Amino acid sequence: MAMILIKRLPGLFYTYRYTVYSIIILTCTFVYLLFKWNLLCTNFQAWQHANRMCKLYNQGKAMGSLCAPMCSNNDIRSITCHTFGTTKEAVFSAEWHHTRLVFKSVSSDVRSLHWFDNGALKYPTEKEFLSTIRAVVKSKLNITLAHNGAVRLTRLKPSYEETDISKRQKEMDNLWILVQDNEYLLSTIYTDKDIFPQLLGTCGPYFAVEYVEPVQDVSSLLSVSDTKEDWANRLKTSVQMLELLDELETGFREPFHLCDIKLEHFGVVKGTNKLKFIDLDGVYPRSVINKIVSNTHNCNKDEDCDFYDCRSKCLKQYNKCESSVSNNNLQIVCEKIFLGWRLSNTVIVPGLLMSQHTPAALASVLRQCANPQNEDRKPRTSPENEIKKRLINVLTEIEQSVNDDFFL
């Protein structure tokens, strides 16, 4: 029987060749998209980037505190790829003296800092370079750096001034690429704010930050169990998220908006209870994201004014977007994280706070927080402070009650 089937395979393949071709094409496309969207990765990709880093270092094009440990001393080991979503071309982790760090790549598609004048290589003066860096930071974060802060940003080693002209020029080239990246700037400038991953070092167009464990495993969204202990962990994580959002709202000169919010973009530093936001590519001060949104012209519907999760409204009579983002971090977290994925106002995939243990009072305030004006389409209104206070109070009471049950 098996022999008969084997003999018939060529004929069957020919008869159904178009179906087979279609299946092969769809499978290849699916696998390609998994890699493209960073939902699937291999350590081969991570090693490719590590080799590229070392190639640039050996060519004298890459500088930074992590170049020698990675490429000469072999102190950095256990290179592993990452599958969590990111807009970065490369994200991989490694071990360095028992410290786990995450390498991220910066786009090299940046206009060169240096130029040629009648064949002679030219670089900006130190004063010009300092002014240029300050201008970049002003454009990206709308802050004017103090002189000392700007000087630190113009050096790979903040306390060391490179005096060798050739090395200094290469240092400028490396820094010029790095400061174009939003994540690098936030991790470098706001080291005193313990809500972004700490910068640990650089090497050419790569920089490394501390490893922060994503909180995705805290919830039982994809598990069968929904125990009291699991519910307590989810409550704790939710309270920590609200504290982080409050710090983003009040701890800076102006509020910061998280325009790409996913559960796995929040993480906890190992050995601590401190929650941090991991993916900083979509983190902007309010004035900057408002400018991005208001520069969107020729809109026909509200969705044309969305910048990922940061939403505005279309002024249809003018075919332009309003000059400000209409929702805020709390609304997005309530909608996407606490409630979960919905279809026609029905929860399809339950979120962090949707459980068999969820009391009616919490479910009610979550719905008001996620959609304050009960809009049929994507909510575009920020919840009032009263809703925020009610949510915090309800969560605190439930968390206290659950904790008391554990100690009875």
Residue from 79, 85, 81, 80 nearest 38 by CA: 85
142 plus 240 within the same structural domain: no
Say whether both 349 and 252 belong to one domain: yes
72 shares its domain with 159: yes
pLDDT at 34: 42
CATH of residue 283's domain is: 1.10.510
Task: Give the Cα separation of 230 and 357 in Å (integer).
Answer: 10
Q: Two tokens at 395?
A: 């969560």
Boundaries of domain holding 329? 214-407
Q: Among residues 176, 235, 187, which one has the least CA distance to residue 354?
A: 235
pLDDT digits 0-9 by tens, 162-202: 999 999 999 999 999 999 999 999 999 999 888 999 999 99
In 3-state terms, the chain is what percent helix, strand and coil (to 5)?
45, 15, 40
Out of 14-23, 87-96, 105-114, 258-267, which region has the weakest mean confidence (pLDDT)? 14-23
Q: Measure Cα distances from 55 to 59, 60, 207 in Å.
A: 6, 9, 16
Q: Which residues pair with 80 in a beta bridge?
A: 93
What is the rounded CA–CA span in Å between residue 325 and residue 328?
8
Looking at 182, 211, 240, the residue that finishes a domain is 211
131 and 245 housed in the same domain: no
| Amino acid letter for position 277 | F
pLDDT at 35 over 50: no
Using an 8 Å Cβ cutoff, are 330 and 388 in contact? Answer: yes
Verify that 110 and 174 share a domain, yes or no. yes
Does one domain contain both 90 and 104? yes
**Together in a domain, 365 and 326:** yes
Residue 343, token pair as written in the block: 């279809």
Q: Average the pLDDT over 277-288 and give the result.
A: 96
Let me know whether 218 and 110 are in one domain. no
Nearest to 161 by CA among 184, 186, 185, 130: 130
Say if residue 105 is in the same domain as residue 182: yes
User: Of the candidates 164, 193, 211, which is a domain's last residue?
Assistant: 211
Q: Are residues 132 and 218 in the same domain?
A: no
Among 186, 211, 236, give the residue marking a domain's end.
211
Report how far apart, in Å, the C-alpha atoms of 168 and of each of 126, 165, 174 are: 10, 5, 10
Residue from 302, 292, 263 nearest 279 by CA = 263
Binned at pLDDT 50, 70 and 90, residue 369 comes out as very high
Mean pLDDT of 51-71: 96
Strand partners, 206: 105, 203
Taking 90 as the threshold, does the pLDDT of residue 55 lie above it?
yes
Under the banding of pLDDT at 50, 70 and 90, the label for residue 288 is: very high
Closest CA to 383 of 250, 254, 391: 391
pLDDT for residue 82:
74
Percent pLDDT > 70 in the chain is 83
Average pLDDT, the chain: 87
Judge if 89 and 140 occupy the same domain: yes
Please state the pTM of the whole predicted model: 0.86
Total domains in the chain come to 3
Structure tokens at 388: 């925020």
Q: What is the pLDDT of residue 86?
A: 53
Q: Are residues 70 and 13 in the same domain?
A: no
Q: Give residue 32's pLDDT.
A: 47
- Residue 361 in this model has a pLDDT that exceeds 90: yes
Cα-atom radius of gyration of the chain, to the nearest Å? 25
